[in-house]
Every structure is written in structure tokens, then in C-alpha cells.
Amino acid sequence: MTTNTKRLIGALAFFIWTAFVVAAFYVVQKPALAAGISGIADTAWSLVIWALLVINGTGIGSFLLRRLPRLPIHAIERLLISAGIGLGLLGLAGFLLGLLGWVHPGLLISIQVGVFLLFWWQKYLHAILDDLRQFGNQWRISITTAPLWIKMALGVTFLLAFLMALAPPGEAFDALFYHLPRTERILNGAGLQPSSVPHFWFPALPEDIFLWAQGMGSVRATQLLHLTWAMLGILLLWYWAIKVWDTKAAQTSLVIIISMPSLYLLASWAYTDFALTFFGLTTIYGIYKAHENDGDAPAIGWIIVAGIAAGMAMGVKYTSFLVPVTGVLLLIWWQRRKPGTALKLSLTFSGIALLIAAPWYLRSWVVMGNPFYPFVFGGKYWDAFRTAWYAQGGSGIGWDILELLLLPFNATLGHRDANYYDGRIGPLYLILAPLTLWVLFAARRSFRRQRKTLFAITLFAVLSMVAWGFGVINSSALWQTRLLFPALIPFALPTALGWLVVKKLDTPHLRISFIFNFVVIAIVTITLIDAGISVIMRNPLAYAVGAETQESYLAKVQPSYAQAVELIQGAPEDAKIYALYEPRSYYIPRDIQPDPILDNFAHDVFLYGDPNDVLTSWQAEGYTHVLIYRHGVDFLIENDARRLTPQHLSALDYLIQNKLILVGSTADGSYELYAIHPNE
């Protein structure tokens, strides 16, 4: 045996011995990495899907913008607008795939990988990187002059939002209610089947983008996508401020925005508010850019961009109608001396917007008999009872003068908000309101571009606030300050200008600007400390690295709902559950009919009268179980007892006592699961 052979045998023996010892050691020791490997892999997959969708969306948007006629556009504008509009185009593609039933995970992944490879081969990714480098250079120039506390505050805000986006959906009520369940219906092949959940038929552009993420196996990527829209909208406003004013105005605008306590939380949820914020801001920015230079003819390319963005805004929410209305009003005003041009541009803008928005409205028209289901024209499963119940007419503040005067103050305090945690806007908007009004009044003496910018943003904000105010007057359900976010984010710029004129109030004896700057720092610091404590308590990073399960995280942030999920898991697999006073259905492992507007039982009593007939109707629909959420009952009693009458409570009690069999209840007593007696 040669020396080399002996060395080889020795080396192999040593390798085998090393492998044996290492394997034995870690089998016994069980490092945390091994236990969390699946969680880390799932987080990595979510980040890959998010990056893939954003990159492909940016490529699609860039491809479109580079081919529009007469579109003078800077690289930074192209990058930000391409990303947002490109994601919207992916939503249109998701709608089409859902319509055709082509939502198999393998197909969705193949399409996205194919698009990525195509853009790489065509060198579109290189063009995007060039735009990204120019954005990076502008950001560095802008942020370099910012005080250290602003840099730290911006970084902390993004970090907190990013960490929360890595948690499983838990606290986002509407996400568990309809944003995510709607997409699940499509992935399960039931997307175009009629449903009595009206929210499934609202415009759904973001949800059709979520379809890609959920279909490829990552629900958390939906949250990261909403965070992306938040960043795109905020950065577009930042760039607008820089080009029309200066870096100081841009920096202060960012501070106003991050002072909003709900910003980081709302941005990290699978919601749609920041998609609407981006598309609304892009619309008014596009109209402004088309008229940036008075002596030139309006840039038709920017009108097209604005029309696309307005159509996508209409594809997000019904309340987005103010976006195209604002766009048309701006076109008419800025072309008031040329009526023919105003008409032509308005028709072009409106036609593009309607074309982009049409798929969601046509879907509802064909399936549910109403393009605006369930509003205006009613439709399937809808009647006068549900119209009155949903509207809660007369439950608002009414035309009380004192209440109307206090509306901005009460909205800022948030104590009457229907959804307190996701509608906190902070105190700076209200504090600076007098100075902001002064800035707007004095704008007539400003430079032309500044006047136009302030007019466009203020028109949209005022229309939005007036519409929101009318809603609050009529219905307590519409007291949701979160609905103002699409207008408040752009209005951060005029508010920031109000902050900048505080210096004009300084006197030799009182430097009020110094005191106010200290107040702003204190407000932002308190906001971030509060947010940081909230994130630490939730500890989303533990789930992201696999140290905590989805079930335990849900039990931590939504203990009652987590117990309900566990309770329902004990029901037979073929159980069909009818929910009373519980709108949410995400995570529920059985076929369930949620109670979207908390009227399931009241509506059944309205239709059938006798509780025995109500039970018969449930059986006719194939329901085997009834889930009752007691906190939902309490909510109705506390907020609008008129809708939950003694007759309803008596009928429900009769069924519980005589016709239903208690299967089990949660430990806190908030949920009760009943079986319908087979002989009934």
C-alpha cells in the first residue's frame, strides 16, 4: 500500500469520524437554528416573492412609461411611478388569471420567474438599476443635510413597519375579514360564485395583487406589498417637495408623516389604504406635471399616466371617486381659457380611468347585478333592510354646529374613532392648521409651480375631508380617520410649509420656533417609543426566525379569535358553520359563512319572523353548526342598540335553549359553537 493510499484512507476515516461526532452532537444538543429552519425558510421565501413582484412590477411599469408619447420624466419619477403602476398592472393580470381560474401555484411562479428572466435578458433590469442609482444619489443629497434625529426617526419608522410586516396577519381586522379571505376564495375556485359578503365585491385591485403572493405561498408578502405602496407614495411626495421647494420642505414633510402614530402599523397590514394613497397622489402629480410649464401645451403623456393612476385608484375603493373628480376639476381650471382643450384632456383622462377601473365594476354587475354592489342599486342577497342596517343612517353626529366645529379636534384625539388604533393621525396637523391656512392664503404670491402644487394637493384634501365629514354626519360607522390617510399624506407638504413659517413668529424675547422644534422632536420621539414598545411586545422577529409558531403568535395578539379557531378545529371536517356577529373568517379551518355587517340573525328574523322558520332556513342551506361571537353582540348593544332589539335577543335565546346543542365554548366565553339538532 502506497503512502498516498494510506493518507487517503486516513483522510476518509477522519472525515467519517468528524461527520459522526458533529451529527451526534447536534442531534443531542438540538440548536435553535435547526428548530427554526422552516420558519427562516418561510420568511426568506416571503422576501423573495415580495422582491420578485416589486422588481417585475417596476419593469412592467417602466416598459409602459418609456413608450408613452410626450412624457418628459426624470429617472426618479420614472422609478417611483413605474413601481406603483407596474404593481397595479400585475393586479389587472391577477384579476384575469382569477377570472380564468389559472391560479395554480406552479403557473403563478412560472409566470413571475419568466417575466424576471425576460427583463434581465432585455436589459430592463439594468435600466431600473440606473434609475435606482439616481434616486440613491438624490436621497443621499437630501438626507445628508437633515438633523441626526430626523435620520434616526426615518430609519426607526421603516424598521418597525418592516418588522411588523414579517408577522403573520393577526390584528388587521379587515385583512382577516375580507382582504385575505377574498383572495382565498379565488385560489379555491370560488371567486366568481355569488356571495352574500358585500365586501368581496368591492373594487379589489390590491387583493388581485395579493393573489400572486398568496398563490405563490406567502401571505406575509401581501403586507410587504402594502408597505411598498406606503414608501412609494411618501417618496413621491418627498421628491415633489424637493423639485418645487427644497430639501428642507421635503425633510419636514417626512417628519409630519412619521409623526402619525398609526403609520407604521397600518403600512404593515394587508390593507389597501396606501395603495389608494399612492394612486391618488400620482393622479394629481400627473395632472400637475402636464401643466408644469404654462407656455407649453399640456404633456399628453402625463395625462395618460394620471388617467391610469386614477383608474387604479377606482380599482381600490369606492371612496376613490374623489380622485378622478379632482383630476377633472384640475384640468378644467388650468385649461379654463381653452374650453376645447379642457374637454379633450378631460375625456382622455376620464376614458383611460374608466377603462382601467372597468373590470372590477363589470365583474360585480355580471355576478351580483350591480356594478357598485351593494350600493345604489342593491343586488343579490340585498334588500331595504340591509341597506338601512349597513348605512346606520342617523347614527352620526348630525348637523350639530358644536360637533362640526369640534370635528378636527375629535378626529385628532381619536377617542370616537370606530377603529382607534389604525386611525391615529397625531397632533401636528391640528397644531399647524392655522399656519398651514396662512401658507395657503399667501400662496398667491408664491412661484407659479408652488401655487399649482398647493392648489392641486389642497383641492384633493378639501374634497376628501368634506366627503368624510358628510359621512360622519350621517353614520357613526364612517367615523374612521384612516379613510383620510390618502388625503393627509399629500397634505403633509402644505403642513410642513406651515411649520417652516413658525420662524416668522420669533421675536427678540421669544424664539417660538426653537420651542416648537423641541415639541416636534418630543412628539416624534414619543410616537416612536410607543411604537417600539408595541413591536417589542408583539416580537414579530420571533416568528420571522421560526422561534414562534403562527398559532402562538395569533394567541398572543388575538387570544379570543385564536381560541375560536382551535374550537372550530374540533368540528367535523364536513361541518358548514353559520356565524353570528363575527365578520372574520381567515384561519377558520371549516366552511363558514361570516357575518359581514353583523346582521345575519336580524336579517333572518326580518325574512322569516319565527325562530323555528329561521332554523329551517339554515338547515335548507346545509348548515350544521352555528358560531356565536358574544363580543359582537355586546358591540351592537353598546354602539347602536336600536339594531339589536329585545325581539332578536329573545329569538336567539329561544334557539339556544331549545333547538341548538352546545358543542363547546372558548375559555374566555367570547365564542360558543352549537350544533343544529339533526332531528330539527
Per-residue pLDDT, 480: 87
SS3 content of the chain, % helix, strand, coil (to 5): 70, 5, 25
Residue 134 has pLDDT above 60, yes or no: yes
Q: In this model, does residue 52 exceed pLDDT 60?
A: yes
Q: How confident is the prediction for the chain on average, in pLDDT? A: 92
Which sign, positive or negative, has the C-alpha torsion 184, 188, 189, 192?
Answer: negative
Question: If pLDDT is split at 50, 70 and 90, which confidence band does 413 have?
Answer: confident
CB atoms within 10 A of CB 467: 18
* pLDDT tens-digit map of 519-535: 999 999 999 999 999 99
Residue for cell digits 434609475? 131
Q: Tens digits of per-residue pLDDT, 228-284?
A: 999 999 999 999 999 999 999 999 999 999 999 999 999 999 999 999 999 999 999
The answer to whether 477 touches 241, Cβ cutoff 8 Å, is no
How buried is 556 (Cβ within 10 angstroms: 0-12 exposed, 13-18 middle, 19+ buried)? middle
Checking if the pLDDT of 198 tops 80, the result is yes
For residues 14 and 18, give the distance between their C-alpha atoms in angstroms, rounded to a whole number: 6
pLDDT over 90 (residue 537): yes
Which of residues 359 and 21 earns the better pLDDT score?
Answer: 359
How remote is the C-alpha of 338 from its chain's centroid? Answer: 39
CA-to-CA dists, residue 543 to 30, 42, 559, 587, 631, angstroms: 19, 10, 16, 17, 28
User: How high is the pLDDT of residue 30?
Assistant: 67
Q: Please give the radius of gyration of the chain, using alpha carbons only, rounded to the nearest integer.
A: 28
pLDDT on residue 33: 62
C-alpha cell at 665: 365554548
Give the pLDDT confidence score for residue 679 in this predicted structure. Answer: 61
Distances (CA, A) of 640 to 330, 400, 596, 597: 41, 19, 16, 13
pTM of the model: 0.94
Residues 196-212: what's their mean pLDDT?
96
What pLDDT, on a 0 to 100 scale, did the predictor assign at position 245?
A: 95
**Sequence-distant (≥ 6) Cβ neighbours of residue 346 within 8 angstroms:** 328, 331, 332
| pLDDT, position 197 | 94
Residue 643: pLDDT band (50, 70, 90) is: confident
* Predicted confidence (pLDDT) at residue 680 exceeds the cutoff of 60: no
Overall average pLDDT of the 211-234 stretch: 97
Q: What is the pLDDT of residue 426?
A: 93
Q: Which of 154, 149, 204 is nearest to 181 (CA)?
A: 204
Q: What is the CA 101 to chain-centroid distance, rounded?
A: 25
The answer, yes or no, to whether residue 203 has pLDDT greater than 70, is yes
Q: Which of 290-294, 442-446, 601-605 shows the highest mean pLDDT?
A: 601-605
Partners of 676 in the beta sheet?
660
Whether 475 has a pLDDT exceeding 60, the answer reads: yes
Checking if the pLDDT of 221 tops 60, the result is yes
Give me the percent of the chain exceeding a pLDDT of 70.
97
Q: Tens of pLDDT along 579-635?
A: 999 999 999 999 999 999 999 999 999 999 899 999 999 999 999 999 999 988 888
For 139-197, what is each residue's pLDDT tens digit? 999 988 999 999 999 999 999 999 999 999 999 999 999 999 999 999 998 878 999 99
Residue positions counted in the chain: 680
Predicted confidence at residue 503, as pLDDT, reads: 92
* Range in 30-44, 156-170, 370-384 with the lowest mean pLDDT: 30-44
